[in-house]
Amino acid sequence: MKKATYLLVLVLALLSAAVQYNDPDPLRWMAMYGYVAVLYGLALAGRYWRAAVWAGMAVAALWAATMVPGFVEWVRMGMPSIVGQMKAESPHVELVREFLGLLLCLLALAGLWYGGPVRRSTS
């Protein structure tokens, strides 16, 4: 079960990185999602570097923290839709989407932190 979950997160992170090509700032988002994918791939291979997972969590948390005021403002606005169309016409749309993306990265890395590498069977 753990292996399947890790593989699912790996694929979702790779897909998330792949669709960033048309973002206004694609490289940093590709790097963040790619970092999550690499760490999950390493965990699937039985390799696990806890410091790298912690570093990714720290980056995602600090980056997300810079967006908290905008996220709070969006909540105060009554949480208008952020999914109506792919092009972000209002500034809050892009900010909220980015904040939630970072939150997902943080949660994925926290899952890896607590789950550790996939243990290989000896049979």
Domain boundaries along the sequence of the chain: 2-115
pLDDT of residue 76: 85
> Model's pTM, two decimal places?
0.84
CA distances (Å), origin 45, targets 6, 39, 55, 66, 67? 11, 10, 20, 34, 34
pLDDT digits (tens, 9 = 90+) for 6-16: 999 999 999 99
Q: How far apart are CA 90 and CA 6, in angstroms?
A: 35
pLDDT of residue 123: 45
SS3 state of residue 118: coil
CA distances (Å), origin 72, targets 81, 98, 104, 105? 15, 14, 18, 20
Sorting pLDDT into bands at 50, 70 and 90, what band is 85? low
